[in-house]
């Protein structure tokens, strides 16, 4: 038990170091952005004194190191600052957008995870059958297309082409949810972006599940179970699947991280008011506090879910503590 706790503490320390490096990358990339916010918001007709006053007001006249340390200290105290474009508190603004992104990611995960595990188990059970080949071809095809193309195909098939039917289109092309939108309406509005994310991530999870189970089916204890006359389906569910949890949990956690961090393109395609869409808009308008806060949330989410995957893998398979 102490070995597991020490390994978890080591992973957490590595996560903190990674997060610190990410803050340096975020600050450096924002510093390298072309253009000037004050010049852009005030227009080309603004005088130099007005532009300089804007820079002083927002701290842009200070050295990079000073601004970085100030931002890092404020972020540590959950002070995300004020949006430069709409003068709203970034924490309040980001919270609403983050809730929308989490709802979309949760919707996609609820569909994708059980579907991928089921498809993977069946593909391993009926290995080399027509079903196995069909599922592999279909999932590889879906993962080969970029997210924006999958999104546009979904819009074409389930929104545009069905709009000529009686009763209107099945699903809206734009997922414009609002805080007052009911749960049922929200599910209907985000169906297309959620299914787009599902098609993108289900292939990876399905293939990893299939590979993990097939690898275990060659183990001696599986051969013994077969010699005892146990059905193949029971062998997979009762014997192979529990021992395959470590790689499966790892790939599921990584794909959950993608569902939250990789929603930027999907949110832009469907005009979904999530954190990814806010990040794109903030970069366009050079709203630096929003860009910094959004990037930090994405980075923290990805690091935490990867750490969770490592910890769950170790807990479910303690043999990982003693690599050969």
pLDDT of residue 170: 84
Contacts of residue 256, Cβ cutoff 8 Å, sequence gap at least 6: 105, 109, 113, 305
- What dihedral do alpha carbons 315, 317, 318, 324 form, nearest 10°? -140
Q: How far apart are CA 242 and CA 152, in angstroms?
A: 39
Any domain includes 55: no
Pull the structure tokens for residue 49: 């004194």
Any domain includes 280: yes
54 DSSP β-pair partners? none
The SS3 call for residue 15 is helix
Any domain includes 187: yes
Please state the domain count of the chain.
Answer: 1
The string of pLDDT tens digits covering residues 175-192 is 888 888 888 888 888 999
Any domain includes 54: no
Long-range Cβ contact pairs of 128-137 (< 8 A, separation 24 or more): 132/210, 135/206, 136/207
Task: Give DSSP secondary structure letters for 183-209.
Answer: HHHHHHHTHHHHHHHHHHHHHHHHHHH
The SS3 call for residue 246 is helix
Pull the structure tokens for residue 130: 């027509």
Q: Can you give the pTM of this predicted structure?
A: 0.83
pLDDT of residue 122: 85
Any domain includes 132: yes
- Spans of the chain, pLDDT less than 50: none
The string of pLDDT tens digits covering residues 266-282 is 888 898 988 888 888 88
- Domain span at residue 309 reads 2-34+80-321
Contacts of residue 127, Cβ cutoff 8 Å, sequence gap at least 6: 214
Nearest to 69 by CA among 33, 11, 27: 27
Q: How far apart are CA 295 and CA 8, in angstroms?
A: 25
Pull the structure tokens for residue 286: 């050079």
> What is the per-residue burial (b if ≥16 Cβ within 10 Å, else e) of 62-92?
eeeeebbeebeeeeeeeebbebbbeeeebee
Cβ–Cβ < 8 Å for 190, 273: no
pLDDT of residue 78: 82
How many Å from the N-terminal Cα to the C-terminal Cα in the chain? 20
CATH assignment at residue 294:
1.10.3720.10
The string of pLDDT tens digits covering residues 13-47 is 888 888 889 888 888 888 777 766 777 677 677 77
Report the interhelical angle of 288-316 vs 2-31 (nearest 10°). Answer: 160
Any domain includes 56: no
Write out the H or E segment, with its range, that includes residue 266: helix 264-269
Any domain includes 75: no
Q: What is the DSSP letter of 84?
A: T
Q: Counting Cβ atoms within 10 Å, is residue 280 exposed (0-12), middle (13-18) or buried (19+)?
A: middle
Any domain includes 88: yes
């Amino acid at each position: 038990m102490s070995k597991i706790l020490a390994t978890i503490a080591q992973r957490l320390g590595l996560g903190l170091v990674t997060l610190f490096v990410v803050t340096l990358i975020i600050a450096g990339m924002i510093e390298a952005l072309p253009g000037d916010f004050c010049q852009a918001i005030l227009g080309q007709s603004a005088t130099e004194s007005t532009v300089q006053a804007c820079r002083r007001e927002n701290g842009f006249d200070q050295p990079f190191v000073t601004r970085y340390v100030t931002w890092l200290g404020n972020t540590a105290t959950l002070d995300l600052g004020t949006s430069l474009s709409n003068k709203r508190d970034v924490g309040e603004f980001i919270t609403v957008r983050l809730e929308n992104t989490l709802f979309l990611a949760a919707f996609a995960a609820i569909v994708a995870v059980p579907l991928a595990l089921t498809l993977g188990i069946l593909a391993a059970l009926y290995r080399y059958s027509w079903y196995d080949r069909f599922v592999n071809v279909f999932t590889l095809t879906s993962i080969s297309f970029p997210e924006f193309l999958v999104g546009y195909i979904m819009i074409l098939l389930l929104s545009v082409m069905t709009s000529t039917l009686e009763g209107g289109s099945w699903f809206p092309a734009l997922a414009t949810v609002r805080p007052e939108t009911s749960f049922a309406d929200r599910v209907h509005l985000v169906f297309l972006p959620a299914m787009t994310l599902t098609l993108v991530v289900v292939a990876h999870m399905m293939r990893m599940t299939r590979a993990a189970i097939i690898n275990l089916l060659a183990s001696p204890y599986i051969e013994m179970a077969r010699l005892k006359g146990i059905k193949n389906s029971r062998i997979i569910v009762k014997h192979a699947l529990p021992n395959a949890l470590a790689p499966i949990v790892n790939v599921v956690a990584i794909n959950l991280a993608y569902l939250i961090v990789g929603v930027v393109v999907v949110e832009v395609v469907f005009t979904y008011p999530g954190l990814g869409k806010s990040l794109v808009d903030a970069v366009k308008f050079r709203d630096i506090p929003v860009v910094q806060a959004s990037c930090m949330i994405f980075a923290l989410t990805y690091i935490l879910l990867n750490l969770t995957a490592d910890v769950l893998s170790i807990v479910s398979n303690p043999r990982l503590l003693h690599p050969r």
